Chain A
Amino acid sequence: MKKILISVAATLVFASCSRDTLDLTNPNQITTETFWKTESDVKSALAGTYGLFKNVNGGLWGVRGVELSNGRGDDFFIRNDVAALYQLSTFTNTPDNGVSEGVYNVCYRAIFRANQILENVSKVGLEADKEKAYIAEAKFLRGLNYFILVTNFGDVAIRTKVPVVTDDYFVAKSPEKDVWAQVIKDFTEAAADLPVTNYGRATKGAALGMLGKAYVYTKDYVNAATILQSLTMAPFNYSLTANYEDNFKEDTENNSESLFEIQLSDVGGTNPWAGENANETLGVTTAQEFAPGEVAGWFEVSPTDKLFNEFQKEKTTTNELDPRMYATLIWDYPGATFYNKPFTAFKLQFGFKSMFKKYQNYTQNNELKGSKGGDYTSSINERVLRYADIELLLAEALTMQGRTGDAYSYLQDVRSRAKLGLLANGLGQDAMMAEIRHQRMIEFAREGQRFYDLKRWGLLQQEITNSDKVGKQYFVNGKHDYFPIPQSEITTNAKMEQNERWK
């Protein structure tokens, strides 16, 4: 019997410590309780938010994002390798398109993170100015993500708070104009408190530039002109780089023309598809996917001949082709080399006359590895906002108010860098706009602007129809101005309704 008592006692001893036995804390990760204590926590949180812009599955400046923002333009072709890309580029996409879903989801991930920063930064106890600057930076990031959402999807859900209870996961969409209001509010507030210099990160200039762009997109030309004009004077000293191509090379990143760019470098892991962890490369695979097969690329895209021809509409003052054409495209011209090979080593796959050179690492032999061994990794920063864009947007905002004279110098600045002659004085609004449209098409090819420019000019139908774009016959005006709300959002969110044109 004594033994029984002992074992019973032993059982009780075990049982009594069971409560502690079951209380385990995660030894690997910080919890939300222990985070938000130091300034470095805030900086880490910002890095985790910025990083999504390059996300391989849906960051607008990651590979799929670049394919999405360019793919529908009349200057762009995507081959039928990844069906979702081919479908969106040929206007045969459906709400289950994985690429548009990726961009949508990644934007909201960034918004969730930016909202966390906004709600928690005050817990750290920073000096007031510092705290304000971090809040401004988070608002810039949030505003930029809403900008991506509104330009691509129109009416979307506005979330400015971190969900607390399960019900908070489900939010209905807001009208497009309300989303624009949120964009303008975020950029306005960001511009107020961001520093003028903040190397590699959001600045006052970046916020003002995006704000100006948002005004142009919403056709508020008066405010647009005011804001954009402020970037042409102190405290800012942005200027166009002498060499256009400096904007697409690694060694001339963050230059005088840059207002905001996505920082990319082969300093992370080696796997582009590792997900968000230490193994993930911190560059992008875009250059490899766009490169020809002869240099280990996947030749996923091609410029259309419409773009190829557009470049040749005006020669330089020395009667040569626009230097921007040489920086943007590679084609069969005397002495053309690409990836250290003569152009004859390459075969044009799709019947178009050229391939993209802009943002390609064409001084390397191929696109297999980044400088530190990252698979297919390109380290060339994606430029989000260049001063050339500011000048052309400003010219547009002025022209649209009838102030063509005021617009002239900004437009000519972009032309002059391209060695084009002086524009005739006294052009009317239409002629001025035509020139701005022509300049934007060739200045920003492969920079994700063309489709959205055409959309706000109301020229999608016309320009796509008169192009050699594959799939142009499936373009439905109005409907294809936007991507549909992703099917997964509709399925999981009872409050969400599909875009009218996509029902």
Chain B
Amino acid sequence: MIKYTGVSISPPAWARHAILLFFILCTLAVNAQKKITGKVTEDGTSQPVFGASIQVKGTTRGAITDEKGQFSLSVNPGDKLLVSSMEFESQEVTVGAENTIHIVLKKSTAGLNEVVIIGYGTVKKKDLTGSIATLKGGDIKTEGASNVSRALQGKLAGVTVEAAGGDPGAGMRILVRGVGTFNNANPLYLVDGVQVNNINNIAPGDIESMDVLKDASAAAIYGSRAANGVVLVTTKSGKNGPPVIQFNANFGSQKLIKKYDVLNAQEWATVSNMAHDNAGLARLDIAANPNQLGAGTDWQDAIYRTAMMQQYNLSVSGGTEHTRYSFSGQYNDQDGIVDVTGYKRYGIREKTETTKGRLKVGQSLILTRENWTKMPGGWGGQGGNPVGSAVKMIPVFNIYDENAIGGYSGASGPVVNVANPVAQLHLEDITTNVTSIIANAFAELTILPELKYKFNLGYTDAFISHKDYTRRYEVGGLFANPTNNLAQASNRYNLVMAENTLNYAKDFGKHSFQALAGYAYQKYVRDSSASAKNDLADGISELDNGAIISAVSGNKLVSTLVSLLGRVIYSYDNRYLLTASFRRDGSSRFAPAYRYGNFPSIAAGWNISNEKFWSLSPASVSMLKLRGSYGILGNQEFDDYGYAAVINSNINYVNGNQSKWFGAIQTTYASPYLKWENTETVDVGIDAAFLHDKLTLTADYFRKNTTDLLLKVPIPGSAGSAADPFVNGGNILNKGVEMGIGYNDKVGAVSYSVRGTFSSIKNKVLALGTGTQQIAGGQPTHHGADATLTQAGGEIAAFYLIKSLGIFQSQEEIDAYKGKDGQLIQPSAKPGDIKFFDANGDGTISNADRLDMGSSFPSFEYGLGINLNAYNFDLNLFLQGTQGNKIYNGLRQDLEGMNLEYNYARTTLNAWTPTNTNTDMPRAVIDDPNFNARTSSRFLENGSYFRFKTLQLGYTVPTRLLERAKISSLRAYLSADNLFTITKYKGFNPDIGRSGSILDRGVDFGHVSYPLARTLSVGIQLSL
């Protein structure tokens, strides 16, 4: 048995120790030296760094760390030690009086020798010509973030990460360089080379690196799927050496940061009575005696809770000369801050790679199971989900009624049908389970030293089962469900891909040459079925028990893609770099004549600092590279089979016997002439390093021009189609700059790094449909008119709103507000009502008066990360924000409308009255004849925010304390997520999290809103 202790010499390490001994012997004679021991660990993770070189500056003396990151070396006081390792930033340490020394290495960010993953291969960062943003595993802080994409927010220049839905375990929306399509704007995700729908199920701790391919040169090798960018996730591999066992655990608690400030029962009744009095209508009975109502029910308190979360990750990795392996298991359990909701994830992952002779074979497998417990959607009422209902529910109503079927009370009488949020959560059980397989296997044959053939097989399968069980209930007077009902749905997403590639790489003197050619095939199948039954016995939630089949459906979608691909990378003398690539894709989604698309790209780079004439010292500018690229990418994200006209079934009617009469007919027009959406990208970039690489800078300017936009162009209603057909009908331009800056230094015992990202992207719709076409989106409330319009000359989903001009203070003002023919523009207005701007001058207020009121896209967004290390402590901060974007606050439109019978915002207490005129809140009037509550600029808000997203304090236990326990490293940390947010936005969260159409993203809709939680957590990271 081999003991891996500090003093024993393990077989792989003995040789290095022999070298060390040699060096020591060589230098012994020269000086009176002392012997020091030390340890090298990785910043952030505190993992030992194996194989790092420690060299005494100006000598040939040195040492190499063992698998525990330890070394010993004879030195003179005052010697400078140069510590370096692949993938890490080099460090210089001056020897003092101490006999032990702890060196923390930071994964290199500029990392010029760093290898960057590109499609179907890798390239050294210094040879890179495309625009790629890379994040290493160590940078993906996992605190408080149960999924990877959440941890990405603000960390990659040009990559926008925003909330998409609020349930725990909900994904994030990732936009690479803005929005260039009205269809699926998600980037292409590849995990270990396999295409997946999302990366939410990947444990953050399993990730070695994430590379986001942003420009056409980087992404063109993925052709038709790459127009929205490509996210390459590489999971961890083993390293040559003895096994390393790592264990991470995190426990946290999440709490609601901000409640919506709504009225209590007495206050509500006061405002309600005022609104009825002003309308000349009878008061509501339930509001009859405000003074006797007290506070009533606080519906928000009734649904929110302090929610616990825990995450564990255990991994084992290692390898020999021939085989490397890595496997891990993850468990994640997160309760939502909304009662009942929760998310659990279990997973195992393994990855091996074996080389024998000319053959290398490898495989990776990720199996995960995710379980969600979700919120109901509002039971068809007008309150929306429990979050929306909790703010709108009138506080006069009670939560429980033990005599009612189901046990809950709720709204009744002549009020808006907002469903009791507590009853929603407890009477309807919604669970979604997803079992996913991501598998990859490859064989690579080295035919000649320079020529390799690789066959890669990828397979993903996601089995999604959804179950929705509703108990029978009578909740108040407005909601009843006479029978127990169950609806089940299952979906399967299956993808098979096969790729054959030939890779040739050879250096001829100063010429370096790499070529790739390949053929790829993929098939994507989506199978869905759903069934529902009513009238189940109490307590039984399986379909067999149901009596009445209420719905059964099922369908299948298949698409295939075949591709030819090629790429040449050439560099001369590390100075001139050239990359050219080409992909030809054929897709089943298009009619035969339009099936194929060609996607070429070309890029060039110039390492100026490698030129002979370069005379600047590395102490000022240590590296400078210019890059430029041009290429075309495609997008085929639209309906399968869209080119053929179909007969829609199940559009039913009733026959004279009052039974179902099955209907079927063509309801929409086909789109037989569709072709690919094309995106042409030009990118120019600069990579630079200063002050001996302490300061690094990457900056890019890009122009992304999407043409032949796949678009549903509204055709005249009189054409009679039930939906608009797809056409290639538009042109969008995105342009922007993005920048990443890093600075690393050390002051005394404190080493620190600062990293910032900055992106500014603007989009413009250059052409749309027939020319005058407008696409409306962003419904803000249950009945509210759309808040955004997309049209040629404007931005995607710009806010087009009727402009509010403040409050009419008197009848004279109303009478003076006349159109060109002398008619009153707002004849129904009374003092205290909102004055709207008659922009088109036609004498009435209508949608034709909408004006461009701003953008949902920020002028710029930014992220700033700071890491500090001193002694055994480390401090990590992350700040992030957006500037210049607007948000349409639909929930406030509901709560400050005072035109509907539900609860109101506290601000309505300040409503205009003849004696309270100095206010921006119009009068309360329940029938709202002037439409004060209409969709207008009144509810448009500044959406800029600055968020202190992460604060983490870690402590690494000194090695000497751990040796006896045979632990190689141990770090404990305290972490706070979403500490505070500075914003003028009045809603729950300026990162509003609206999923669905890209055209809705700047509109905060009460039915789907979700508040932000603050998370406090503790964790340990242990390595054996």
Q: Is B357 an interface residue (CB 8 A)?
A: no
A residues in contact with B749, CB < 8 Å: none
Q: Are B414 and A200 in contact (CB under 8 A)?
A: no
Residue of A83, A96, A299, A493 near B716 (CB, 8 A) is A493
B residues in contact with A92, CB < 8 Å: 828
Q: Are A24 and B559 in contact (CB under 8 A)?
A: yes
Query: Known contacts being A15-B564, A22-B562, is A296 close to B480, with CB within 8 Å?
Result: yes
Q: Is A492 an interface residue (CB 8 A)?
A: yes
Q: Are A47 and B414 in contact (CB under 8 A)?
A: no
Q: Are A41 and B664 in contact (CB under 8 A)?
A: yes
Given contacts A3-B445, A49-B663, A263-B658, 9 further A-B contacts (CB under 8 A): A30-B646, A30-B647, A45-B663, A81-B783, A105-B720, A109-B721, A157-B718, A268-B652, A293-B412
Q: Is A169 an interface residue (CB 8 A)?
A: yes
B613-651 contact mask (Cβ, 8 Å, vs A): 1 or 0: 000000000000000000000000000110011111111
Residue of A4, A280, A295 near B652 (CB, 8 A) is A280
5 CB contacts below 8 A, A to B, read: A263-B653, A263-B654, A296-B477, A349-B281, A350-B281
In the bound complex, CA of A294 to CA of B413 (Å): 4
Q: Is A116 an interface residue (CB 8 A)?
A: yes
User: In chain B, residues 560-580, which have Cβ atoms closer than 8 Å to a Cβ of chain A?
Assistant: 560, 562, 564
Q: Are B586 and A18 in contact (CB under 8 A)?
A: yes
Q: Is A373 an interface residue (CB 8 A)?
A: yes
In the bound complex, CA of A42 to CA of B551 (Å): 25
Interface residues of B (CB under 8 A from A): 280-282, 285, 380, 412-417, 445, 447, 451, 453, 455, 477-483, 485, 498, 500, 502, 519, 521, 523, 534-535, 548, 550-553, 555-560, 562, 564, 586-588, 592, 595, 640-641, 644-667, 669, 714-722, 770, 772-774, 783, 785, 827-828, 844, 846-848, 899-900, 927-929, 931, 934
In the bound complex, CA of A494 to CA of B812 (Å): 42
Q: Is A7 an interface residue (CB 8 A)?
A: yes
B residues in contact with A457, CB < 8 Å: none
Q: Is A292 an interface residue (CB 8 A)?
A: yes
A residues in contact with B719, CB < 8 Å: 108, 112, 159, 163, 168-170
Q: Is A309 an interface residue (CB 8 A)?
A: no
Residue of B455, B551, B595, B655 near A278 (CB, 8 A) is B551
Q: Are B482 and A111 in contact (CB under 8 A)?
A: no
Which A residue sits closest to B713, measured CB to CB? Answer: A492
**Among the interface residues A30, A41, A110, which one has the most CB atoms of the partner chain B within 10 A?**
A30
Binds B, one of A234-242, A447-455, A481-489: A481-489
User: In chain A, residues 132-168, which have Cβ atoms closer than 8 Å to a Cβ of chain B?
Assistant: 156-157, 159, 163, 168
Q: Are A94 and B847 in contact (CB under 8 A)?
A: yes
Question: What distance in Å separates the Cβ of A501 from its nearest Cβ neighbour in chain B?
Answer: 13
Question: What distance in Å separates the Cβ of B145 from its nearest Cβ neighbour in chain A?
Answer: 36
B residues in contact with A96, CB < 8 Å: 785, 846-848
**Among the interface residues B552, B592, B651, which one has the most CB atoms of the partner chain A within 10 A?**
B651
In the bound complex, CA of A274 to CA of B139 (Å): 45
Q: Is A32 an interface residue (CB 8 A)?
A: yes
Q: Are A265 and B899 in contact (CB under 8 A)?
A: no
**Among the interface residues B447, B552, B661, which one has the most CB atoms of the partner chain A within 10 A?**
B661
In the bound complex, CA of A267 to CA of B657 (Å): 11
B residues in contact with A403, CB < 8 Å: none
Residue of A1, A31, A366, A486 near B480 (CB, 8 A) is A366
Q: Is A199 an interface residue (CB 8 A)?
A: yes
Q: Are A109 and B848 in contact (CB under 8 A)?
A: no
Q: Are A293 and B477 in contact (CB under 8 A)?
A: yes
Which A residue sits closest to B451, measured CB to CB? Answer: A4
Query: Known contacts being A3-B453, A96-B848, A267-B660, is A80 close to B928, with CB within 8 Å?
Result: yes
Q: Is A320 an interface residue (CB 8 A)?
A: no
Which A residue sits closest to B550, measured CB to CB? Answer: A270
B residues in contact with A277, CB < 8 Å: 553, 650-651
A residues in contact with B650, CB < 8 Å: 276-278
Q: Are B588 and A156 in contact (CB under 8 A)?
A: no
Q: Are B647 and A35 in contact (CB under 8 A)?
A: yes
Query: Known contacts being A109-B667, A298-B417, is A30 close to B649, with CB within 8 Å?
Result: yes
Q: Are B651 and A269 in contact (CB under 8 A)?
A: no
In the bound complex, CA of A180 to CA of B535 (Å): 50
Query: Known contacts being A156-B718, A293-B412, A296-B478, is A282 close to B654, with CB within 8 Å?
Result: yes
B residues in contact with A487, CB < 8 Å: 847-848
A165-180 contact mask (Cβ, 8 Å, vs B): 1 or 0: 0001111000000000
Q: Are B477 and A47 in contact (CB under 8 A)?
A: no
In the bound complex, CA of A117 to CA of B665 (Å): 9
Q: Are A268 and B519 in contact (CB under 8 A)?
A: no
A241-258 contact mask (Cβ, 8 Å, vs B): 1 or 0: 000000000000110000
Q: Are B558 and A35 in contact (CB under 8 A)?
A: no
Q: Are A373 and B548 in contact (CB under 8 A)?
A: yes
Q: Are B645 and A491 in contact (CB under 8 A)?
A: no
Q: Are B664 and A35 in contact (CB under 8 A)?
A: yes
Question: What distance in Å separates the Cβ of A110 from its nearest Cβ neighbour in chain B?
Answer: 8
In the bound complex, CA of A442 to CA of B500 (Å): 80
Q: Are B717 and A80 in contact (CB under 8 A)?
A: no
Q: Are B716 and A169 in contact (CB under 8 A)?
A: yes
B residues in contact with A493, CB < 8 Å: 716, 718
Q: Are A83 and B934 in contact (CB under 8 A)?
A: yes
Q: Are A294 and B477 in contact (CB under 8 A)?
A: yes
B residues in contact with A46, CB < 8 Å: 663
Q: Are A23 and B720 in contact (CB under 8 A)?
A: no
Question: What distance in Å separates the Cβ of A83 from its nearest Cβ neighbour in chain B?
Answer: 6
Q: Are A267 and B772 in contact (CB under 8 A)?
A: no
Query: Known contacts being A32-B647, A199-B656, is A47 close to B560, with CB within 8 Å?
Result: no
Which B residue sits closest to A298, measured CB to CB? Answer: B417
Q: Are B477 and A159 in contact (CB under 8 A)?
A: no
Question: What distance in Å separates the Cβ of B1004 from its nearest Cβ neighbour in chain A?
Answer: 20
Q: Are B648 and A29 in contact (CB under 8 A)?
A: yes
Question: What distance in Å separates the Cβ of B793 from its nearest Cβ neighbour in chain A?
Answer: 15
Q: Are B722 and A200 in contact (CB under 8 A)?
A: no
Q: Are A351 and B282 in contact (CB under 8 A)?
A: yes
Q: Are B718 and A267 in contact (CB under 8 A)?
A: no
Question: What distance in Å separates the Cβ of A492 from its nearest Cβ neighbour in chain B?
Answer: 5
Q: Is A50 an interface residue (CB 8 A)?
A: yes
Residue of B558, B663, B900 near A24 (CB, 8 A) is B558
Query: Known contacts being A3-B445, A169-B715, A276-B722, is A201 close to B656, with CB within 8 Å?
Result: yes
Q: Are A278 and B282 in contact (CB under 8 A)?
A: no
In the bound complex, CA of A294 to CA of B415 (Å): 9
Q: Are B660 and A14 in contact (CB under 8 A)?
A: no
Residue of B280, B455, B534, B828 near A373 (CB, 8 A) is B534
Query: Known contacts being A14-B500, A169-B715, is A44 close to B665, with CB within 8 Å?
Result: yes
B residues in contact with A296, CB < 8 Å: 412, 417, 477-480
B residues in contact with A27, CB < 8 Å: 555-556, 558
Residue of A11, A15, A22, A474 near B588 (CB, 8 A) is A22
Q: Is A113 an interface residue (CB 8 A)?
A: yes
Q: Are B717 and A489 in contact (CB under 8 A)?
A: yes
Which A residue sits closest to B769, measured CB to CB? Answer: A492
Q: Are A113 and B665 in contact (CB under 8 A)?
A: yes
In the bound complex, CA of A376 to CA of B848 (Å): 35
Q: Are B550 and A47 in contact (CB under 8 A)?
A: no
Q: Are B500 and A21 in contact (CB under 8 A)?
A: no
A residues in contact with B662, CB < 8 Å: 44, 47
Which A residue sits closest to B658, measured CB to CB? Answer: A265
Which A residue sits closest to B934, measured CB to CB? Answer: A83
Q: Is A48 an interface residue (CB 8 A)?
A: yes
B residues in contact with A18, CB < 8 Å: 521, 562, 586
Q: Are B661 and A14 in contact (CB under 8 A)?
A: no
Q: Are A47 and B663 in contact (CB under 8 A)?
A: yes
Q: Are B646 and A32 in contact (CB under 8 A)?
A: yes
Q: Are B714 and A488 in contact (CB under 8 A)?
A: yes
Q: Are A112 and B477 in contact (CB under 8 A)?
A: no
Q: Are A24 and B560 in contact (CB under 8 A)?
A: yes
In the bound complex, CA of A18 to CA of B595 (Å): 11
A297-310 contact mask (Cβ, 8 Å, vs B): 1 or 0: 01100000000000
Q: Are B552 and A278 in contact (CB under 8 A)?
A: yes
Q: Is A79 an interface residue (CB 8 A)?
A: yes
A residues in contact with B652, CB < 8 Å: 47, 51, 268, 278, 280, 282
